[in-house]
Amino acid sequence: MAAETASGYIQHHLSNLTYGQHPVNGWSFAHTAQEAKEMGFWAFHVDTLAVSVVLGLLFIFLFRAAAKRATSGQPGALQNFVEVMVEFVDGSVKDTFHGRNALIAPLALTIFVWVFLMNFMDLIPVDWLPKVAATLAGDEHLFFRVVPTTDPNATLGLALSVFALILFYSIKVKGIGGFLGELTLHPFGSKNVVVQALLVPVNFLLEFVTLIAKPVSLALRLFGNLYAGELIFILIAIMFGGGLLLGALGIALQWAWAVFHILIIVLQAFIFMMLTIVYLSMAHEDNH
């Protein structure tokens, strides 16, 4: 495969289906990466939104179906799976979250399953769903990324939602004064009022950076790991166009990486869930 062809293949698979207001074309879909860039901040990644919503609905449908068919007798495979998931998440919440909030366990379950489903899309061969989308749209050059968590907009959106809950419960539990006190009176303190006043800017800088680091770490950790995994799958797919020998090697590498990647997609969903629980537990701690 020629270098420019491989480069174009990679660029195509890493480009999102973008809809927005173009300075020249008005509201339309971007046909090139440059057009998507020119649409600015308020452009929508339609593929990320569509796949995320579909997977979210799939999660709701499966768990609702299991709840409706739940029986105290011999459970089916779906009920067993859902019960294992619920017990696993419930145990994680009980071990980590030390406050009292009925929202945390359902939120943790939603995050774990939804993020896992979005990560799982990385195991689908990179050309399958984009070709289906291109065929349905009648445009063979259509951009279509099927892994929402390889889009920083999706991971940052999830992280900011968690961050909003952190701020909400921090203020609700500690009060606005307690919350501001955490940002300005820790970690350095002094009984001398003048010294304490001088330490306020230092404390605020340190605590503010720590606070902002929470959503950033949540978003970038998930995005970075899944983006790297997607890129490796794309590079392996390029080998299939390099002849019989490279194609055979590509098949072996694809299966090996897919098996290893199963661990990554589960682990990243688990880490996102656990960090969410930990951060919300910290938000519920009322340190006088």
Number of structural domains, the chain?
1
Q: Please give the Cα distance from 270 to 180 (Å, whole number).
A: 31
127-163 pLDDT, tens digit each: 999 999 999 999 988 999 999 999 999 999 999 999 9
pLDDT in tens for each of the 288 residues of the chain? 444 588 889 999 999 999 999 999 999 999 988 999 999 989 999 999 999 999 999 999 999 999 998 887 788 889 999 999 999 999 999 999 988 899 999 999 999 999 999 999 999 999 999 999 999 999 988 999 999 999 999 999 999 999 999 999 999 999 999 999 999 988 888 888 888 888 999 999 999 999 999 999 999 999 999 999 999 999 999 998 878 898 899 999 999 999 999 999 999 999 999 999 999 999 998 765
Q: Token pair for residue 269?
A: 């969903």
* 166 in a structural domain: no
* 161 in a structural domain: no
Could you tell me if 223 and 152 are in contact, meaning their C-beta atoms sit under 8 angstroms apart?
yes
Q: Please give the Cα distance from 143 to 188 (Å, whole number).
A: 52
* Residue 130 domain boundaries: 3-143+173-283
* 44 in a structural domain: yes
How many CB atoms lie under 10 A from the CB of residue 5?
A: 11
* 114 in a structural domain: yes
* 242 in a structural domain: yes
User: If you ran DSSP here, which 8-state letter would residue 122 be given?
Assistant: G
Q: Please give the Cα distance from 135 to 112 (Å, whole number).
A: 33
Q: What global pTM score does this model have?
A: 0.92
* 159 in a structural domain: no
* Catalytic residue annotation: 217, 221, 225
* 167 in a structural domain: no
